[in-house]
Chain A
């Protein structure tokens, strides 16, 4: 398994945000972490990315334990955060270069990978433009390309379609499904059921606990996923 979470618990003071959460995400699979707002998805992502440390439980990324080898684990991980993290005053290329350097890629290697990534996105000619000039969809795609520059084995996305229009949302969802099909381990957090396909692996997180886990189509059966989600969480999707 590329990503393994075991018995992870976390509290904000007296408030329990995650309660003995365990799951695994496999290479080549799109694993959707579905949960309503406040289910604990963002807390889980903060723990997975080492922004804070869980006193209880274990996270292993590509064989590296987050507690004992956090840097090796982070190096194997690409992250698209819920909040936009592009520096709007820097050009697209400068943003990508900055990230590549944070991961220790030399300028030569970084530039080659950046060119390839921008070509894939049909954005090569916009490399010199400031990130501010890009629309929401392009900004997200740039962030996604950036998260892949250091060739991670695990890709984490925290509600990456927030604020995007329907077309941009569909495009990025399809794109990441393709990446998973190419062998990447993908963990995609969302509260939107239409981003999950029947063949995806699905983890349902509700009030800090895993309510259900398995192949999406097996879990919701004949019932539309949206209705299944509603009945399990009691909240509108």
Chain B
């Protein structure tokens, strides 16, 4: 093994180890989407009739519609959670330890991002398993086909968290991230309602949803879960991943001074 792969393995597995130590976090990560799936969706099932729209080939119950959106929600929360842990790392000093390792900073951050994405994907599969046990399922091969989509969506949302963490000065500001990033990103997307439904009520909101990279991450997951290709969603999610990663690298640029604000 080269020194790069040794370091990559250590950084990524530390993220996983940290997650394993936080059982409550795993529980919370599962309870949140399950409440949406089993309570919220049950209530809205009667109110929302969903016409046939790709990738679905038949009328579908609302639970089936929001399943991919809730996978996206898990990855979104996971991305923000890892952002929170990065801010915490910076305050405790373990970020200094990481950034003084003799490897390129972009590589160190990417390794951390991969660890966080892996954790997110584990949570998604646990959620999909429980959902299937409750009868909300997808084609069998879809569970495999969705993996690359989950990896890309996880990287995109993790990179967003990474970028945000470089701009959040203190842990206390994290509530602002919830209000100004997670909620708008989730609600202004196709996670809970199809975009054509949104267009019926407001053209502007529809356009905002369409520009939201989270919409495309959810659509990428949705199509992959039903074994269909969505090149546009793939392109948009990929571009957003690159943009967020570039923003994160800029945020952590030593010439800008990551810890400068902390002295």
Interface size class of A (residues with CB under 8 A): 35 or more
Q: A102, B254: Cβ atoms under 8 Å?
A: no
The CA-CA distance from A82 to B263 in the complex, in Å, is 11
What is the distance, in angstroms, from A131's C-beta to the closest C-beta of chain B?
Answer: 11
What residues on A are CB-neighbors of B7 within 8 Å?
A: 101-104
Give residues 85-130 of A contacting B (CB, 8 Å).
Answer: 85-87, 89-90, 94, 97-99, 101-107
B96 at the interface (CB under 8 A from A): yes
Give residues 54-95 of B contacting A (CB, 8 Å).
Answer: 92-94
A84 at the interface (CB under 8 A from B): yes
B3 at the interface (CB under 8 A from A): yes
B98 at the interface (CB under 8 A from A): yes
A231 at the interface (CB under 8 A from B): no
Q: Which residues of A contact B (CB under 8 A)?
A: 12, 42-43, 46, 49-53, 55, 71-72, 74-75, 77, 79, 81-87, 89-90, 94, 97-99, 101-107
The CA-CA distance from A86 to B94 in the complex, in Å, is 7
The CA-CA distance from A79 to B1 in the complex, in Å, is 25
B102 at the interface (CB under 8 A from A): yes
Of B2, B94, B254, the contact of A85 (CB 8 Å cutoff): B94
Q: A71, B6: Cβ atoms under 8 Å?
A: no
| A to B CB contacts below 8 Å, 25 in the list | A43-B263, A49-B96, A52-B255, A52-B257, A52-B260, A53-B254, A53-B255, A71-B102, A71-B103, A74-B101, A77-B100, A81-B93, A82-B93, A83-B92, A83-B93, A85-B93, A85-B94, A85-B97, A86-B94, A90-B14, A98-B14, A101-B6, A102-B97, A102-B101, A104-B103
Q: B92, A72: Cβ atoms under 8 Å?
A: no
What is the distance, in angstroms, from B6's C-beta to the closest C-beta of chain A?
Answer: 5
Q: B14, A72: Cβ atoms under 8 Å?
A: no
Give residues 116-159 of B contacting A (CB, 8 Å).
Answer: none
What residues on A are CB-neighbors of B101 within 8 Å?
A: 74, 102-103
Q: Given contacts A83-B92, A89-B18, is CB(A101)–CB(B10) below 8 Å? A: yes
The CA-CA distance from A103 to B3 in the complex, in Å, is 7
Of B1, B14, B97, B257, the contact of A106 (CB 8 Å cutoff): B1
What residues on A are CB-neighbors of B103 within 8 Å?
A: 71, 102, 104
Q: A49, B100: Cβ atoms under 8 Å?
A: yes
B4 at the interface (CB under 8 A from A): yes
Q: Which are the 3 A-B pairs with shortest beta-carbon distances? A: A104-B3, A101-B10, A83-B93
